[in-house]
Structure 1
């Protein structure tokens, strides 16, 4: 019936000359009357003309001003050709604008997907660009759960599925881990029609409420992270819906996106699992906040987070500032975390472990065997960031002082015994699943016995006339049950005057209130004591007061 109506209308269409520019228009009412003369019901004729007029107006082939006056008039001869081509195809049961199976998507090659995408992208971009108000309505609705996993000031990204098919650099190739909701995320709805209607509708509460399930599924698929075991999450930001001609080929259209961005809090297991996963999957990559601000990493990775930029009104600096304020996805959370406090460990069984307010440390009443004390020393060395060469294949070293003991029940039991012996004191050894262990003290509160350290200076340099000289402070290597803690040396520039005074302090005895000794201490505190490299060595103080005397802690070596 519809084809017959169009066939009846074709002879009555207006005409435009191929040359010289002659043309004529046809009143809309005349077209309706022509169909009625063909024994077609007037209501059906009016509907047919109205629908076809809408189609031709959408194709922009009709002169707009004449159309407003109730007349059909083609804008040009090519416009007439396009209109006639489309209407002829619609009226001919044997005509198609595409091959019969063109829009099939199952088991098709990438080139066919690209062809479909090209058609949809051209049509949708044109519809968007040519909309009179600039606000074309979307025809595709996507609900997305994104995650922010932040460690050491870096954000984790995942390579997008359509990276090789992006059409412009602005599309980016790395997105935040996560993805779009699908039918499997919506629980409690058995009616597939209701479910699909919700997924393809704007601002659907049913789908928005399912985004936490989307997040869990996508993180499991993309990063191998399992909710509960590896992480918890909380909603960070629900973005304003945004529109863009976008999609994974061939699903390309003017799309309205609804995005919830979740902040991830990793468990210890998740924190230790993630680096291994990233090492084995090149699609996962860390980008710095500077990369995000710049829009590209140094190695060419382009983050695609346009929705986030838009939510911050395009202000990259504001977005980066907000990301900077977010806490890391894993916090060390040490049990002992006090300022102006210290724990001093010794290599000698005859010297007890001391602890307390800095400068007023006292021996701690610990009931550890020499072997257990050496285990504790190994945990402390790793916690402090010393290079620990583990001599046990069952031992894995992790950040924040954690060690992992695999398939070694003896060592696991020994560490559990140390933890039990210390459970009521200042020093706490954390145990997780009898597999993960650490000394739970903020690393900068851990110090080591003075006997490990040497202050080294060249004799000839001391005789020179230069204003500043190089001195070396070294920490010698030492053995622990967990392995050998390697030594470390650092060079520092001191004034020749201060170096000589420190040597004088090392070679002579000064009371704590001696004027010269106090001045030496003050000069040391303002300079060397503030150096991060000096602090990293693990020596509590090079110059400190003890039992009413000003003491030089390290062994002096003038060579």
Structure 2
């Protein structure tokens, strides 16, 4: 049987469809078999060819399903008949291809528009293939992944995926990545290994996962193996999803091994410097943001496999992952929460909310300014450094680039340590941070102001963390709109007028003003000697 001629015979026998309207032919499948059998003399081969082409056309939704149930072929439309004829014409003509030769060859030299075309085609096919809930789709791609969790305090480091940011795709993942053939021993980098690697329980992949992690950490962060240690935590249950960067896009089964990373001092500083030189490639997420899958700035985390397995426990699980820092935070409990002073001469407040006590530190004006810079940065608020005097690094770290700042930092650290509360940490290489969990770093209420927003139907307060101008940086103002229930509006108004509010205004305000803690306000209303007072001054004060 001539392979090309048989498609020509089948093409000539296809039913016709009018270009306009619904006038169409239908033809019995047995007639199509007879056409091919007349040429080949082989009934089995003829039935096989027709069955394959039928399934191809059926999968492309070209044939009318009602007619097909009666063993007859009829096209659903004129364009559908054109698609069928184009396919058979290509198959019937020697040397003809649907895509240009080399179209599917991979490599960094491939133009973006070609890669995007391929991705769009694969995405459309795979989306349709996996959409039917009545049948379980099988994955056609297997990926073995090793993640390294890097945690500094309450923040987790994520890397931007190796793909353009797409509106419908999550953009950040834990450091690490997928296994590559280069991770295998030299004698295993063969085509014979591919079948084992396609298995979700591949022995080769399991043995190579630490090498995968080491290679990825070096590629992404420049970390050498003597600059960190990796501790195995768990392997997630196999996870299936239509995913893949660029044109490696298909319904995929993921096998993900998770490690915690403990950095040596050299490794930690290298990570910080890397984040400084490539800030757009990295993002810090809190455990709650990872549980939500996104940050307020729109950055999203692709950790769906972990979320699917751990569910509501993901935040609790992440909180137990060891800190990666070579020098973990010294203070991380609620009893060490602090309110930084709003001016020189004002004491810090230290302690759990409701039990704060003054902590007197004699700060020079320069030390106070530097302390506020550290607090702003610990909270992740906007800072505009002046004349490259300092560099903002991740996890609350600053790199101090001038001698004057280095001296101030060292003096401040020594002063606090002498008072047995050494929460300003310095390193010999010019790095400094607040060594307190950032969720327990607050600012004195006098650093804020508020004003009523009562236009239209809105009932809210605009809360502002006021800008601070220092010698080395501008600490940008932060605004927050807090929507208030009617009872709290009445309570705040009563306190403003010197009256006693109804209900538990202190408890209610602590709940409603919860979002303000993200910009450093511990509480809006406080009670003293049985009287309630608003701690934050108004914008008119």
What TM-score do the two structures reach when normalised by structure 1?
A: 0.56
What TM-score do the two structures reach when normalised by structure 2?
A: 0.58
| Pairing of 1:499-538 with structure 2 (within 5 A) | none
Q: In 2 relative to 1, CA 224–116 (structure 1 residues): closer, same or farther, beyond 3 Å?
A: same
2-side partners of 1:327 and 1:78: how far apart?
A: 60
The reply on whether 1:289 has 2:287 as its aligned counterpart is: yes
Structure 2 contact 63–75 (Cα < 8 Å) conserved: yes
Q: In 2 relative to 1, CA 27–397 (structure 1 residues): closer, same or farther, beyond 3 Å?
A: closer
Structure 1 contact 232–265 (Cα < 8 Å) conserved: yes
* Structure 2 unmatched runs, 5+: 330-413, 436-541
Q: Which residue number corresponds to residue 125 of structure 2?
A: 123
Q: Which residue number corresponds to residue 323 of structure 1?
A: 318
2-side partners of 1:47 and 1:40: how far apart?
A: 13
Q: Which residue number corresponds to residue 29 of structure 2?
A: 28
Structure 2 contact 229–261 (Cα < 8 Å) conserved: yes
2-side partners of 1:151 and 1:386: how far apart?
A: 16
Q: Which residue number corresponds to residue 146 of structure 2?
A: 145
1-side partners of 2:27 and 2:133: how far apart?
A: 25
Structure 1 contact 240–258 (Cα < 8 Å) conserved: yes
2:241 to 222, 240, 244: 244
2:264 to 263, 267, 277: 267
Structure 2 contact 221–270 (Cα < 8 Å) conserved: no
Q: In 2 relative to 1, CA 388–45 (structure 1 residues): closer, same or farther, beyond 3 Å?
A: closer
Structure 2 contact 75–81 (Cα < 8 Å) conserved: yes
1:327 partner SS: coil
1:16 partner SS: coil
Deviations 1:315-334 (A, max 9, x none): 3x421121112232247599
2:295 partner SS: coil
Q: In 2 relative to 1, CA 286–46 (structure 1 residues): closer, same or farther, beyond 3 Å?
A: same
Q: Which residue number corresponds to residue 471 of structure 1?
A: none
1:21 partner SS: coil
Q: Which residue number corresponds to residue 86 of structure 2?
A: 85
1-side partners of 2:141 and 2:284: how far apart?
A: 31
2-side partners of 1:292 and 1:270: how far apart?
A: 24
Number of equivalenced pairs: 351
| Pairing of 1:360-509 with structure 2 (within 5 A) | 384-385=421-422, 396=430
Q: Which residue number corresponds to residue 482 of structure 1?
A: none
1:250 partner SS: coil
2:260 partner SS: strand
Q: In 2 relative to 1, CA 174–132 (structure 1 residues): closer, same or farther, beyond 3 Å?
A: closer
Choose 1 or 2 for highest CA Rg.
Answer: 1
Deviations 1:478-522 (A, max 9, x none): xxxxxxxxxxxxxxxxxxxxxxxxxxxxxxxxxxxxxxxxxxxxx
Structure 2 contact 260–322 (Cα < 8 Å) conserved: no
Structure 1 contact 332–400 (Cα < 8 Å) conserved: no
Q: Which residue number corresponds to residue 214 of structure 1?
A: 212
2:110 partner SS: coil
2-side partners of 1:143 and 1:184: how far apart?
A: 13
Q: Which residue number corresponds to residue 43 of structure 1?
A: 44
2-side partners of 1:383 and 1:223: how far apart?
A: 36
Structure 1 contact 230–267 (Cα < 8 Å) conserved: yes
Structure 1 contact 383–400 (Cα < 8 Å) conserved: no
Q: Which residue number corresponds to residue 110 of structure 2?
A: 108
Give the root-mean-square deviation of aligned CA atoms. 3.3
2-side partners of 1:68 and 1:309: how far apart?
A: 43
Q: In 2 relative to 1, CA 216–77 (structure 1 residues): closer, same or farther, beyond 3 Å?
A: same
* Structure 1 unmatched runs, 5+: 335-376, 402-559
2-side partners of 1:383 and 1:396: how far apart?
A: 23
